Copies of this chain bind each other. A is one copy, B any other.
Amino acid sequence: MSAYRSSEQYLGALARRAALPAGFCAANASLEFSPSEKPGTYPMNLSLILLDEPTTSFGACFTRNRFAGAPVLIGRRRLAEPRLRGVLINNKVANVGAASGVQDATAVLGELGGLLGSPERELLAASTGVIGWRLPAAAISAALPTLAAGLQRRSLLPVARAIMTTDSWPKLRRARVGQGAILGVAKGAGMIEPNVATMLVFLLTDLEIPRAALREELARAAEATFNRISVDSDQSTSDMVVAFSSRRKPAAPRAEFRRGLLEVCRGLAEDIVRNGEGVGHVMRVRVRGPQRTLSLGLAKAVVNSPLVKSAVFGNDPNVGRLLSSMGDYLGTAPGGSTVDFRRLRVAMGGTVLYEAGAFRLDSAKERRLARYLAACASDPAHKGYPAHERCVEIEVDWGGRGAQVVEVYGADLSYEYVRENADYRS
């Protein structure tokens, strides 16, 4: 659990994590464009993550949103390619809902491939930003030579900064595994919910791992981390988690690779929630019970309830709303009637709030819990770096034999969230 005192200190910590694994390079550049949809010019950042050689070992998870963006439509097809070499990322325009979206993105990738000596089909596109605007393909293409000329092997930190939209700090996590490393970078703030949402994650490793194994490990890690976070329960049109291996270092034992990938993904997932739009508190909800689907539903019901989220924002240990949100879910969930509220145990920060069919509250306990919540808070308007990495720990146990624990991350609901989302395009 780290705490940071300044942006410089946080960026220093990231710089130490950011060294590119063997066989990767990266670049970024910026440009100005004039959307046809709105007067004025806007700045856009381009980022490129590139392998020295195309690799057979890559994988990706995409949003399940049916109104998916052009990069997602292209990316899904790319999964069948024999080899990929890298990904071009832009912010500001999500390239969603424009009739020519796939064509525009493909044209840009064709131009980039020409500069790099790679066919367009070996490149992925990733976009985040306003939905409905057309990708400014000509302006992007004009900036590609500068981008390609800036490729470097040192650090992923400039990319971590360039892919930000409403993010207020860059996000990088690293794990050492065997003789190599797994490095992950993420963009994401707001509109984050299970099933992967406006979240772009790129995972780079130099460890040898076959394609099938990489995809299996990626799916497993994403399910346990990126699909377990929720800022506002909306799943975006553009989310993707992409992994590449340059295969430059000897393979690590599978269990070690798994542990390393999970560590990186869990760190990034928590970073994404903490940096969610207007987030003041991060909630970590752990539900223990004999039936995993119901446990997961209970945890998500808690983190997605606007009333729970508002109460946590106000440092109000409102256990009534916790129980009501779970009761609401169970009232309509298949099998919900198997959960017996009299056997339910609910704790916050280690303090039992409800047990054996009754609230376990008194005013001294309530004051203590309010202080606990306040100590877990950050100022939602705080920018530049995470002040600390504390979570509001909520534990739910609905008992039973052979119970497993399911973990979900969520965020409070603050004035700042509303402000950012009411004003995003203005």
How far apart are the CA atoms of A357 and B70 in the complex, in Å?
13
Q: Does A375 contact B (CB under 8 A)?
A: no
How far apart are the CA atoms of A269 and B325 in the complex, in Å?
22
Decide if A327 touches B68 in the complex (CB within 8 Å): yes
* Set B63, B307, B336, B337: member contacting A232, Cβ < 8 A: B307
> In chain B, what residue has the closest Cβ to A231?
B306
Q: Mark out the residues of chain A between 308 and 325 whose CB falls within 8 Å of any chain B CB in the assembled complex.
A: 310-311, 313-314, 316, 318-321, 323-325
> In chain B, what residue has the closest Cβ to A320?
B131
> In chain B, what residue has the closest Cβ to A38?
B363
B-side contacts of A63, CB under 8 Å: 331
Shortest distance from the beta carbon of A367 to any chain B beta carbon, whole Å: 10
B-side contacts of A190, CB under 8 Å: 307
Residue among A310, A316, A318, A331 facing the most chain B CB atoms (10 A cut-off): A310
Decide if A305 touches B234 in the complex (CB within 8 Å): yes
How far apart are the CA atoms of A354 and B234 in the complex, in Å?
20
Q: Does A219 contact B (CB under 8 A)?
A: no
Shortest distance from the beta carbon of A311 to any chain B beta carbon, whole Å: 7
Q: What copy number does this chain have within its complex? A: 2
Tell me whether A66 and B306 are in contact in the complex, defined as CB-CB below 8 angstroms, given that A97-B358, A316-B425, A418-B414 are known contacts.
Answer: no
Q: How large is the interface on A (under 10, 10 to 19, 20 to 34, 35 or more residues)?
A: 35 or more
B-side contacts of A314, CB under 8 Å: 421-423, 426
Shortest distance from the beta carbon of A200 to any chain B beta carbon, whole Å: 16
Q: Does A195 contact B (CB under 8 A)?
A: yes
Q: Does A240 contact B (CB under 8 A)?
A: no
B-side contacts of A319, CB under 8 Å: 131-132
Listed from nearest, the 4 A-B pairs whose CB atoms lie closest are A131-B320, A67-B327, A314-B422, A310-B421
Q: A66-B339, A131-B323 are in contact. List 14 more A-B contacts (CB 8 A).
A: A37-B366, A38-B363, A38-B366, A39-B363, A65-B324, A66-B330, A66-B331, A66-B336, A94-B320, A97-B323, A98-B359, A191-B324, A236-B324, A306-B306
